[in-house]
Amino acid sequence: MAVTLVRRASLLPLPAKFRTPAPKTATFSEFEIPVSFSFTFLSHYCSSALRLDPCYYGDQQLHYSYDSDSFFASLIDGSTQKSHLGQIHAQLLVLGLQDSGFLITKLVNASSNLGYVTYARRVFDEFTDPDVFLWNAIIRCYSRHIVFADALEMYSRMQAMGVSPDGFTFPHVLKACSGLPDLEMGRRVHGQVLRHGFESDAFVQNGLVALYAKCGRIERARAVFDCLSERTIVSWTSIISGYAQNGQPLEALRIFGLMRKLNVKLDWIVLVSVLKAYTDVEDLGQGTSVHGCLIKMGLEFEPDLLIALTAMYAKSGQVMAARSFFDQMETPNLILWNAMISGYAKNGYAEEAVELFREMISKSIRPDSITMRSAILACAQVGSVGLARWMDDYISKTEYINHVFVNTALIGMYAKCGSVDYARIVFDRTPNKDVVVWSAMIVGYGLHGRGREAIDLYHSMQQAGVPPNDVTFLGLLTACNHSGLVEEGWDLFHSMKHYRIEPGNQHYSCVVDLLGRAGHLDQAYDFIMKMPIEPGISVWGALLSSCKIYRRVTLGEYAAEQLFSLDPYNTGHYVQLSNLYASACLWDRVAKVRVLMREKGLTKDLGHSLIEINGKLQAFHVGDKSHPRSKEIYEELESLERRLKEAGFIPHTESVLHDLNQEETEETLCNHSERLAIAYGLISSAPGTTLRITKNLRACVNCHSATKLISKLVNREIVVRDAKRFHHFKDGSCSCGDYW
């Protein structure tokens, strides 16, 4: 039973050598010794601190000798509060024991163990001549509590005082160098390690491996590791973690395999790095095997391993499994929140990512830039301008309002949500624009087919002295491609060499698309034949798409053959070839493509469209009659169809065969998914409201033509994002200029 004992000790008279000069009559029994310990502890420190030693004086009275170091050391070791340490420290001052380096070192270590860093420093500063043990204690205190700068400051003071470090000094100093990180200081400490003869000390050498790995000098870490005469689990963990954290997961796994061959006993720390390595190489099978190993070892509930498992399953698309690990944590830390939100966002679970982000901030958990970018990516995928505005407003109230990477993500988000003008507002307010920011805005213009504005911005970028990169030119070529700016795009492509930028397949495919859509198919084919790199899927796909527009069947068949050899199970290639045949009325060949698809087990995804009304998204499929307002929707469709015919609209019947899915079986074209979304938007929003629609497939010719005229008839702007680009319909015309 614990009690608080504050009483005058009357156990023993204080030996003369421990009595203080004033008052001269003071005895040990006269000192107050406040203790808050159990009776068990009291009996323990009495038996350990007081040893029986019979001494006979004049009156032959038996006394006991008094070992002050053991006595007060036991009191210090049993302390659980700062007040205990303060009272013991006061007794040392009263007894004149404040110069005992052993006891002061014990006080500093105890203060550190209890988390009283400031008090530990105060005790240290009161000691006039600290030895290496006391210096080690205060350096360890700072290093242990992640006050790395102060740890290095104390190490420098220690050297200035002429105190030589020992094997217990260097590990804590190296940890501080790693934590900052401070490579230059670490190098100097490495030199001191060698000068003081600790090149064979396993603990010191492990610290050096960790230092160089955390400072990004993995080759230096490996050199130290290879020279180790004795490799502990810490040694293996440090080098494996170093490779995993420095973007070399395969080497991390190779060394892990060597470690296993040597039968080194595993611990959870090394398995965290191994899981990260398997996550980076996207080897879910081996990662799952490690997971099984963790279960056998009883480590599956270790917090850091839960984070690693969450990240692995989330990145591999197994978001349900990842969420199960996430939910096991009572108080998930920021790394875990980031892993889950990022996993959702990168695997098509945008709404779940946004919902989890909202939950996170509702719990007052402070996000970092990684959280922000993942949440912004999710908002971009949802495609809601309202949600995008909410995200922008939230960020404007945080320290990330001028963060370059966050603002770059915001620019992309607004562009993908259909509002390139909002994207420009973010661009204009971003200070210190780098090439990534400029490129993001140019790509945004390209996505919306605003080629002239993209080129004008590129010229402003040049005037600002910011050199372009490969992404800049990809955005420019896309903008020219979507705007029909053939000469401008051709010149921009050839200007890449002036910046020593090697074009990739995406750049070449943009040029092929640019030439092909303008009708220069032979020039596009010659361009492909002269490419210095092997043409990829995107290049041949661009050529096949252009062949459909101009009904170049033979050339299109050649492009399709190349696509089938490169990517035989991609449904889109067969759809493109079928569309080519349909445009040329080659129905027997259309049928053969269908048979070929069935033989390969390929099916086309069902087309669907989303529309945002009052901040909420509604989904529609072709011929969809499941909506609660279905009757009103189809009545609006019939009304629109009558008005279109009255205005002289003639349907493009060949577009019925545009995609090989359920849409082609419908008797009419007016119930395609985007037409249903438009009808719902018209009956659900106020006159003049902009309708924003997202379609998973490329818009068909018929719907594109009809939507242009609808925008004029209903006096609405209709923004449609299809699988290729954005279309802004207004007053009977489209921003693409019928060039898509």
Q: Grade residue 468 by pLDDT with cuts at 50, 70 and 90.
A: very high
Q: Grade residue 10 by pLDDT with cuts at 50, 70 and 90.
A: very low
pLDDT at 603: 83
Sequence-distant (6+) residues with CB within 8 A of 387 are 354, 379, 417, 615
pLDDT at 49: 42
Q: Assign residue 718 a region: left if phi > 0, alpha if psi is -120 to 50, beta otherwise?
A: beta
Question: Does residue 655 carry a pLDDT above 80?
Answer: no
pLDDT at 736: 84
DSSP 395-430: HHTSTTTT-HHHHHHHHHHHHHTT-HHHHHHHHHH-
DSSP state of 660: S
Say if CB 36 and CB 80 are below 8 A apart.
yes
pLDDT tens, position by position, 107-124 = 999 999 999 999 999 999
Q: Which residue has the higher pLDDT, 675 or 36?
A: 675
pLDDT at 7: 32
Name residue 505's amino acid: N
Q: Grade residue 669 by pLDDT with cuts at 50, 70 and 90.
A: low
pLDDT tens, position by position, 265-299 = 999 999 999 999 999 999 999 999 999 999 999 99
DSSP 36-49: --BHHHHHHHHHHH
Question: Does residue 670 carry a pLDDT above 70?
Answer: no
CA 632, 637, 638, 639 dihedral sign is positive
pLDDT tens, position by position, 475-503 = 999 999 989 899 999 999 999 999 999 99
Question: Does residue 335 carry a pLDDT above 50?
Answer: yes
Whole-number average pLDDT of the chain: 88
Residue position matching structure tokens 């949802």 = 382
Q: How far apart are CA 581 and CA 575, in angstroms?
A: 10
Say if CB 226 and CB 258 are below 8 A apart.
no
Distances, alpha carbon 484 to alpha carbons 58, 488, 515, 580, in Å? 117, 9, 9, 22
pLDDT at 623: 83
549, with CB counted inside 10 A (0-12, 13-18, 19+), is middle
pLDDT at 583: 87
Could you tell me how far CA 428 lies from the centroid of its own chain? 26
Q: Grade residue 8 by pLDDT with cuts at 50, 70 and 90.
A: very low
Angle between helix axes 701-713 and 673-684 (nearest 10 degrees) is 20
pLDDT tens, position by position, 531-566 = 999 999 999 999 999 999 999 999 999 999 999 999
Question: Does residue 658 carry a pLDDT above 50?
Answer: no
Residue position matching structure tokens 């060698």 = 194
Q: Which residue has the higher pLDDT, 287 or 22?
A: 287
Average pLDDT over residues 364-379: 96
C-alpha dihedral over 671, 675, 681, 682, to 10 degrees?
-90
DSSP state of 469: -
Tokens of 325: 């690990």
Q: Which residue has the higher pLDDT, 190 or 653?
A: 190
pLDDT at 282: 94
Report the percent of the chain where pLDDT is more than 70: 88
C-alpha dihedral over 115, 118, 119, 120, to 10 degrees?
70
Angle between helix axes 202-214 and 183-195 (nearest 10 degrees) is 160
pTM > 0.75: no
Q: How far apart are CA 531 and CA 383, in angstroms?
A: 36
pLDDT tens, position by position, 398-439 = 999 999 999 999 999 999 999 999 999 999 999 999 999 999
Residue 728 β-bridge partners: 719
Backbone angles phi, psi at 32, to 5 degrees: -80, 125
**Secondary structure element (H or E) that encloses residue 616, with its range:** strand 616-621
Q: Grade residue 604 by pLDDT with cuts at 50, 70 and 90.
A: confident
Question: Cα-atom radius of gyration of the chain, to the nearest Å?
Answer: 37
End-to-end CA distance of the chain: 83
Q: How far apart are CA 715 and CA 710, in angstroms?
A: 8
pLDDT tens, position by position, 692-704 = 999 988 888 888 9
